Every structure is written in structure tokens, then in C-alpha cells.
């Protein structure tokens, strides 16, 4: 079983950013990646300085090409199934049955987006159904937009969206707005629709209501529930933080988890994520892991 200084689980934007800092610190780095980027459903990435409007797969591919120019980086395409402490080291094992050892572990596993169970919603995810207006709102050209409520957390979405286009807020029986919330929505010129949603159809996002009416939209926004694809943080005993969108791995300002020498970055460790945030978190996690190795044992 080959031994590394740092093993990074996840080779998307956060994981590669962490690996880059460590590679430049001349440490032996292992990146294990299953190839399931969270934003693989989107055709273009926006709001990323220097990369605005590029296909996200191209951004990721360029990052990997640059990272692999460092001879001290090993990249293995594999899905990690388990992680455990093995004395002073960590052992990660893949579904293929291979195991690797490292002195530090960085979890950049990302999340999956759990959508409400409404017919037609999932098929339009990333093309006409979105979660981030900063990532997708500008391209909708100030056309009719909608917010599908999943709970009171969706008030935030509904109050944001008018800056990108006239907005309809589909309550969908998910919560009862207070008088103050209704006042705020009216102040932002948001149309409140109380009739439940039946399904989504059309070329973009035509919202069919249970009373037979149809509201045609250029884009529909919804707050997803964060789902962790592999339970590595749970296996290691890392603490989690509950958010309105689901639990995320708890980290400090240096991206350190509650377990010594385990760091976490990217969407798995923050409630609101995008490519820029993921890269920044990864850079911090990589630098922090390197620092912990540099100063280990010093008095």
C-alpha cells in the first residue's frame, strides 16, 4: 500500500485547488476522483473570473492538465468507498478494492442536489431549472422567472430574483408566509402563487398548476437539499453543521474538520457553493494541510 503525504478525495474544483497548493509545496499528493462534478448538468459556467461562459467540463479539464504537470501528483480515477484512521495515518479504500495511506486527508467529495418530487423538474436541472441566480440569472435576459418554494428558506430566493426578471413565487403548500413576508414580497413586486404545482413541461419551464393554469417561464429556481454521495466524513467521525439546505461538514477558518488532520472543502463543507467558492476553499484546505505537515512536532 503506497504512502502519500496527503490524499484528496474528489478531483473537481475544490480538490484540484487543494492539490495545487500541496504540489507546489513539493509534497507527495494523491487525488482520487470519481468524475461526478456537481455542475456537470450545466452547459456553461458563469461568474468565474477569467473563465466566464466556458463549459465547466473544459475548466475542469484545463485544471487537471495543469495539475498533472507536477510530478509529485498521482491521479487515480476511482470512487472511494471508505476512509479510516490507521494509527497516525489514514487509509482510503476504493470500490475496486485498492487502498492507499496518507498522513493527511482532504475531503472534497462535493454533494448531490436533491430536488422536490415534481414531474419534469429533474429533466430540466441545469438547463431551465437552477439554484443560483448569480450563476445563471443574467443569461435569462430579464424574462419571466419563478421560484419554487421548498420551505421558508425559499423566501430568500424569491426576494433575490426580481433583480434578474419579473418573479412568480410558487408557494406549493411548503409554508405559510407571514404578513410581514407578504409585505416584503409585494415591495419587491413578486407575484405570489398559492395553487400547488402539478408538473413542469415545455421547452423551458412551463409550470402547470393543479387548477389547469400554466405559467410560462424562462427559468425556475429552487433550493435543493444537499446530499453527500459517500459517507466518508461520517465514517471518520467528523462533526456536521445543520443548514436549511441540509447538513454540511463542519470546518474552521482553515477548513479543518473536528477530526485532527482531516480537512474538508468545497460544496461538502458549505451551504452555498459555486466554482469560485470551491476553488478558494480548496486553496485554504491545501495550504492548511501543508502547514500542519511543516510544523508537525515543532515545539
pLDDT of 140 reads: 95
Contact, 60 vs 106, CB < 8 A?
no
Of the candidate ranges 46-50, 97-101, 212-216, the one whose mean pLDDT is the lowest: 46-50
What's the pLDDT band for 229 if we cut at 50, 70, 90? confident
Q: Considering the chain, what percentage of its residues have pLDDT values greater than 90?
A: 85
What's the pLDDT band for 1 if we cut at 50, 70, 90? low
What's the pLDDT band for 222 if we cut at 50, 70, 90? very high
Cell of residue 102, nine digits? 496518507
List the domains of the chain with CATH numbers.
3-113+225-294 (3.50.50.60), 116-222 (3.50.50.60)
pLDDT of 49 reads: 85
Q: What is the mean pLDDT of residues 64-76?
A: 97
Q: To the nearest whole number, what is the mean pLDDT of the chain?
A: 94
What's the pLDDT band for 198 if we cut at 50, 70, 90? very high
What is the Cα–Cα distance from 286 to 25, expressed in whole angstroms?
Answer: 10
Residue keyed to cell 461520517: 234
pLDDT of 191 reads: 98
Residue 299 has pLDDT above 70, yes or no: no
What's the pLDDT band for 248 if we cut at 50, 70, 90? very high
pLDDT digits (tens, 9 = 90+) for 81-136: 999 998 889 999 999 999 999 999 999 999 999 999 999 999 999 999 999 999 99
Q: What burial class does residue 260 get, using C-beta atoms within 10 Å of its C-beta: 0-12 exposed, 13-18 middle, 19+ buried?
A: exposed
Q: What is the mean pLDDT of residues 190-212?
A: 97
Residue 62 has pLDDT above 60, yes or no: yes
pLDDT of 285 reads: 98
Instruction: Please give the residue that has the higher pLDDT: either 2 or 82.
Output: 82
Residue 58 has pLDDT above 60, yes or no: yes
pLDDT of 72 reads: 97
Amino acid at each position: 500500500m503506497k504512502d502519500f503525504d496527503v490524499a484528496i478525495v474528489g478531483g473537481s474544483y475544490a480538490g484540484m485547488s487543494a492539490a495545487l497548493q500541496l504540489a507546489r509545496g513539493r509534497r507527495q499528493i494523491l487525488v482520487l476522483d470519481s468524475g461526478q462534478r456537481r455542475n456537470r448538468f450545466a452547459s456553461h459556467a458563469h461568474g468565474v473570473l477569467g473563465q466566464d461562459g466556458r463549459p465547466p467540463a473544459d475548466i475542469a479539464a484545463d485544471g487537471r492538465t495543469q495539475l498533472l504537470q507536477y510530478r509529485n501528483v498521482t491521479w487515480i480515477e476511482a470512487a472511494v468507498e471508505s476512509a479510516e484512521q490507521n494509527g497516525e495515518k489514514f487509509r482510503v479504500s476504493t470500490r475496486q478494492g485498492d487502498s492507499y495511506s496518507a498522513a493527511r486527508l482532504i475531503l472534497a467529495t462535493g454533494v448531490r442536489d436533491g430536488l422536490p418530487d415534481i414531474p419534469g423538474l429533474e429533466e430540466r436541472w441545469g438547463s431551465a431549472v437552477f439554484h443560483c441566480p448569480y450563476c445563471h440569472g443574467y443569461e435569462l435576459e430579464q424574462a419571466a422567472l419563478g421560484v419554487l418554494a421548498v420551505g421558508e428558506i425559499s423566501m430568500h430566493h424569491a426576494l433575490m430574483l426580481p433583480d434578474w426578471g419579473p418573479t412568480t413565487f410558487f408557494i406549493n403548500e411548503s409554508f405559510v408566509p407571514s404578513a410581514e413576508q407578504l409585505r416584503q414580497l409585494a415591495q419587491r413586486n413578486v407575484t405570489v402563487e398559492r395553487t400547488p404545482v402539478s408538473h413542469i413541461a415545455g421547452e423551458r419551464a412551463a409550470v402547470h398548476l393543479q387548477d389547469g393554469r400554466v405559467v410560462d417561464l424562462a427559468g425556475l429556481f429552487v433550493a435543493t437539499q444537499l446530499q453527500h454521495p459517500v459517507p466518508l466524513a461520517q465514517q471518520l467521525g467528523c462533526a456536521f453543521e445543520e443548514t436549511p439546505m441540509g447538513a454540511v461538514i463542519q470546518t474552521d477558518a482553515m477548513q479543518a474538520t473536528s477530526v485532527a488532520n482531516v480537512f474538508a472543502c468545497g460544496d461538502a463543507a458549505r451551504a452555498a457553493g459555486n466554482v469560485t467558492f470551491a476553488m478558494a476553499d480548496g486553496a485554504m484546505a491545501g495550504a492548511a494541510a501543508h502547514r500542519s505537515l511543516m510544523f508537525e512536532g515543532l515545539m
